[in-house]
Structure 1
């Protein structure tokens, strides 16, 4: 890591949010041709970039002033708002620069942040990602983007450093809608898997070959393939809590649609709640890879 003053003036990416999802994205960016500037509220978070090329900013304002693109990967919309306004991010970013939110949140909050940034001449993109830590390190995330066409075009090459697919879903807020619907369907698929496993158990069928059929045949899904590589007995409880948080966001985003939205939400929540038990059942009947 270097001092900010030693970094020459060129197209630079600022990054804030070195958590489970943000850290692997930042690591990939640090190893890319883009100069990377990072800031963290807790110095220990910077350990994720040990051995990678980046510059540490002392303040949010310093990071903002040095960056052409600033990426946020924070847990909550309220964190984005605090950094952007109270933290001085917007007032210190250069007019014409782009602010990207890679976190998952409400479409309405994405549009609100875009409105707040507009008087500063800054364009905001909501660009949540799908795939998780392992997929991020493999540079195969799906990045779902909401915002103006021209701004999306300016950062597509940047997103390509860590993404297998980049999908421009529409105007501000569309990226968040895409991510929330993606998450809801994945959890609904978890519920489908739980019901199939329960039915097979009641019939006393051998689960290992059945799971092999389901993974290899037309019934497969990302949710099913994730058991083992990404979803394990060690992390399933933690993932359940994250999924339930996402479903709270989904519920609020579709509030007002009535019974149709409730049916989707209830089934997805049930899939999330059963994740630890389902993971244990699948693990008990899966032969480890040699």
Structure 2
């Protein structure tokens, strides 16, 4: 990585399941990493990499050229960016990046609000979960002004196998929601076919191996036993249902009819625990 790329200082908030590996990758690539956390113990996730921790969000914001947020909901982003004073303390011309999953309409709204502070906004949700984050193999879907997205691309490439520019503000979020919906639809297909296989007496683990090896293979199948286990399925199910609420709202806001897609994807999320138990992956 050349000096031009690493000359940007990167702020980060949200050292969770995906955020911590993302922040580590950024530091390991040679970028100067600045972090702020509500809980000091969260910094343990950065053990072994270089970073500077700040007592206040405003100090971290003022020291950063790009600030990445990896938080759970749009309301968290709103609280940090506006109520918490992040935007008010960021440098003119700097970039606020949202790596969380949320509504495309919120991404567009945040872009408009941030422009009053002379701050650029990029929505760059990621897909792949914790294992892909640790392996620096995330898929990052980017929405926002193309020149700003291109400026941030080298940072995104430190933790991504693919960085896909999708279009204007909110496009990254829409791509993520579509990706999630199709994953859950695939889960429903798997549930239906495995139930049929069980009904006719096939050995389910062997059938899963066949489907993974054949032309029916998919990420949803690959995730069984790795990202999706009987222990994790219930938690993942809740997150997927939240994602489908976002998808349904996003589709409604753009005036598109996708009730059949939503219904089928929700069924796939709802059946996730049953699939995990059927395969009996421990």
Normalised to the residue count of structure 2, the TM-score between the two structures is 0.94
Aligned partner (choices 179, 185, 193) of residue 196 of structure 1 = 193
Cα pair 2:66 2:95 within 8 Å, conserved: yes
Post-superposition Cα deviations, 1:118-140, rounded to whole Å, max 9, x if no partner, equal: 01211100000000000011111
Check if 1:278 corresponds to 2:263: no
Query: Equivalent residue for 1:169?
Result: 166
CA–CA distance in structure 1, aligned partners of residues 140 and 245 of structure 2: 21
**Shift in CA distance, 259/56, structure 1 to aligned 2, threshold 3 Å:** closer
Cα pair 2:204 2:278 within 8 Å, conserved: no
**Shift in CA distance, 214/17, structure 1 to aligned 2, threshold 3 Å:** same
Query: Equivalent residue for 2:87?
Result: 90
Check if 1:74 corresponds to 2:65: no
Aligned partner (choices 239, 243, 262) of residue 246 of structure 1 = 243
Check if 1:63 corresponds to 2:60: yes
Query: Equivalent residue for 2:51?
Result: 54
Q: Secondary structure at the match of 2:258?
A: helix
Query: Equivalent residue for 1:235?
Result: 232
Post-superposition Cα deviations, 1:56-109, rounded to whole Å, max 9, x if no partner, equal: 011110011000000001111111111111111111111111110000000000
Check if 1:18 corresponds to 2:15: yes
Cα pair 2:104 2:173 within 8 Å, conserved: yes
Query: Equivalent residue for 1:4?
Result: none
Q: What CA RMSD, in Å, does the superposition of the two structures yield over aligned residues?
A: 1.6
Q: Secondary structure at the match of 1:254?
A: helix
The 5-angstrom pairing of residues 130-209 of structure 1 reads 130-209=127-206
CA–CA distance in structure 2, aligned partners of residues 281 and 259 of structure 1: 35
Q: CA deviation at 1:10?
A: 4.8
Q: CA deviation at 1:30?
A: 2.4
**Shift in CA distance, 48/201, structure 1 to aligned 2, threshold 3 Å:** same
Q: CA deviation at 1:23?
A: 1.5
Post-superposition Cα deviations, 1:247-285, rounded to whole Å, max 9, x if no partner, equal: 11111111167894111111111111111121121135x
Structure 1 alignment gaps of length 5 or more: 1-8
Structure 2 alignment gaps of length 5 or more: 1-5
Normalised to the residue count of structure 1, the TM-score between the two structures is 0.92
CA–CA distance in structure 1, aligned partners of residues 134 and 267 of structure 2: 30
